[in-house]
């Protein structure tokens, strides 16, 4: 009987749960979020199950062998923080295991099947690992879903302005940075006008500084975000002008006073550009222009101020006098007293300085004069016989009151 108890004692002392480092490493990676208390709890449950199985075999053996009584001390299993299972037995040298033999020596001794405890595995630890792994996966998936949902719900109310400093009348473009279907937009341009478009355009009709506000609302969560920016609208220069046809002041003497003068009105500007309908730009503040023919003309003035803003005006003006010499197209130098010589009427009517040259078809000069009383009589230098019939060409240079020359040209037909 002593031998049997020794065998049981040795097996219990030699018992050590099977350790697999790979399993523990995997479990350690998956259960990083589980506290060490849960590890201790799972280990205790595993050892308790093992002890329960051992005690079961012990009681079965005791009930089937009435001739023997086995007394043994309790065994405890402790697990340290290094995840190693150590089985400690409380040893008592003064109380060894006692095997008492019954008086009935004829009772046969039943064979004892020794169970190798080191082969017992604990399914509880594996199940706990599986459950923890599933819970960890659920937590990860839940965090991912929350992250995606959070990213979808995030939005910005910031916006881009095409130009924060504009001139009165310029169009300004606004563009919301965040464009999503679940967002609504409310623009307040600060001048009493609004828009609900994500990228509106607006024209400010007054000068000044305006605070533009964009309110973005999440249609799903009703969450709001607001951004503001300032827009400066600069004034335009006041543009207007008057004009004066000079010849109307001096007996309609268009040859001596051929110009029409223009004067700017309104506040001063940095630059001025005039267009008199001939695609020629004159950059003067008070220009003068010569219109050859009487009639109506469109004149435009563009003024630009120091802030870079420009303004334009176009007017229709009326010219009364033409810059014409009123030259006849033909004459008959036959000395009958009727249309016997050639001299443009304007040169004889007005007091004006001029030069006149007559040329034949070959380009040779046949007559020249600066005297309005010395008309051409049809001969070379007004001497000798009358030249042959035909077409002759005249060129006249007139000088205005300022001494500026103006060229005129035409044809005269000599008839006999």
Q: Higher pLDDT residue, 56 or 415? A: 415
Asked if the model's pLDDT at residue 166 lies above 70, the reply is yes
Hey, which of 67-71, 84-88, 379-383 has the most confident mean pLDDT?
379-383
pLDDT above 70: percentage of residues in the chain: 65
Indicate the average pLDDT of the chain: 79
**Confidence label for 188 from pLDDT (cuts 50, 70 and 90):** very high
Rounded mean pLDDT, 122-135: 55
Map residue 252 onto helix, strand or coil: coil
The kind and range of the H/E element at 139 are helix 123-153
Cα dihedral sign, 273-276-279-284: negative
* Model pLDDT, residue 107: 41
User: By mean pLDDT, which of 50-59, 110-119, 173-182, 208-217 is the weakest?
Assistant: 110-119
Query: Which pair of structure tokens corresponds to residue 20?
Result: 């697999």
Asked if the model's pLDDT at residue 16 lies above 70, the reply is no
User: By mean pLDDT, which of 117-126, 145-154, 156-165, 367-376 is the weakest?
Assistant: 117-126
Residue with tokens 């295991």: 97
Asked if the model's pLDDT at residue 40 lies above 60, the reply is no
Question: Using CA atoms, how far apart are residues 406 and 253, in angstroms rounded to an integer?
Answer: 14
Give every CB contact of residue 114 below 8 A, 6+ residues apart in sequence.
7, 11
Domains of the chain: 2-134 (no CATH), 159-234 (2.60.40.10), 240-319 (2.60.40.10), 330-414 (2.60.40)
Of the candidates 237, 290, 234, the one whose C-alpha atom is nearest the C-alpha of residue 262 is 290
Asked if the model's pLDDT at residue 118 lies above 80, the reply is no
Q: Higher pLDDT residue, 100 or 401? A: 401
* Model pLDDT, residue 416: 86
* Model pLDDT, residue 283: 93
Asked if the model's pLDDT at residue 163 lies above 80, the reply is yes
Rounded mean pLDDT, 9-14: 68
Helices 21-30 + 123-153 axis angle, to 10: 30
* Model pLDDT, residue 189: 98
* Model pLDDT, residue 279: 74
- Express each pLDDT in 301-357 by its tens digit: 999 999 999 999 999 999 999 989 999 999 999 988 899 999 999 999 999 999 999
Residue with tokens 């033409």: 322
Q: What's the length of the chain?
A: 416
* Model pLDDT, residue 278: 77
Map residue 192 onto helix, strand or coil: coil
∠ CA 25-76-99, nearest 5°, is 135
* Model pLDDT, residue 55: 73
Rounded mean pLDDT, 174-181: 95
Rounded mean pLDDT, 194-217: 97
**Cα–Cα distances in Å, from 57 out to 4, 24, 51, 61, 62?**
14, 30, 10, 6, 9
* Model pLDDT, residue 61: 53
* Model pLDDT, residue 86: 34
Of the candidates 321, 182, 206, the one whose C-alpha atom is nearest the C-alpha of residue 252 is 321
């Amino acid at each position: 009987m002593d031998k049997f108890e020794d065998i049981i004692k040795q097996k219990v002392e030699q018992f050590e749960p099977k350790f697999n480092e790979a399993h523990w490493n995997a479990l350690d990676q998956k259960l990083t979020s589980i506290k060490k208390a849960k590890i201790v709890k799972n280990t205790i449950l595993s050892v308790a199950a093992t002890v329960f199985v051992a005690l079961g075999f012990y009681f079965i053996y005791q009930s089937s062998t009435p001739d023997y009584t086995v007394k043994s001390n309790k065994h405890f299993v402790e697990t340290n923080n290094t995840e190693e299972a150590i089985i400690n037995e409380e040893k008592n040298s003064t109380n060894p295991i006692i095997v008492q033999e019954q008086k009935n020596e004829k009772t046969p001794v039943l064979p004892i099947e020794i169970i190798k405890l080191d082969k017992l595995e604990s399914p509880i630890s594996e199940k706990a690992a599986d459950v923890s792994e599933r819970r960890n996966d659920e937590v990860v998936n839940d965090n991912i879903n929350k992250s995606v949902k959070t990213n979808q719900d995030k939005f910005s109310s910031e916006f881009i302005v095409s130009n924060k400093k504009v001139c009165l009348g310029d169009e300004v473009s606004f563009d919301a940075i965040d464009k999503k279907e679940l967002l609504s937009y409310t623009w307040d341009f600060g001048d009493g006008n609004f828009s609900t478009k994500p990228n509106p355009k607006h024209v400010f009709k007054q000068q000044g500084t305006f605070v533009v506000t964009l309110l973005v609302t999440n249609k799903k969560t009703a969450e709001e975000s607001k951004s503001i920016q300032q827009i400066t609208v600069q004034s335009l220069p006041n543009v207007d002008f008057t004009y004066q046809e000079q010849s109307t002041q001096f007996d309609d003497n268009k040859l001596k006073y051929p110009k029409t003068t223009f004067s700017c009105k309104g506040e001063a500007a940095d630059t001025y550009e005039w267009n008199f309908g001939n695609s020629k730009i004159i950059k003067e503040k008070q220009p003068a222009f010569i219109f050859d023919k009487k009639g109506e003309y469109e004149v435009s003035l563009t003024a630009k101020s120091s802030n870079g803003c420009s303004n334009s005006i176009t007017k229709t003006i009326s010219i009364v006098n033409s810059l014409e010499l009123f030259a006849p197209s033909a004459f008959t130098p036959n000395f009958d007293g009727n249309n016997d010589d050639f001299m443009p009427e304007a040169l004889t009517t007005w007091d004006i300085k001029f030069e006149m040259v007559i040329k034949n078809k070959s380009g040779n000069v046949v007559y020249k004069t600066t005297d309005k009383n010395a008309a051409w009589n049809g001969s070379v230098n007004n001497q000798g016989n009358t030249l042959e019939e035909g077409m002759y060409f005249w060129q006249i240079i007139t000088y205005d009151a300022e001494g500026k020359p103006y060229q005129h040209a035409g044809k005269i037909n000599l008839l006999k």
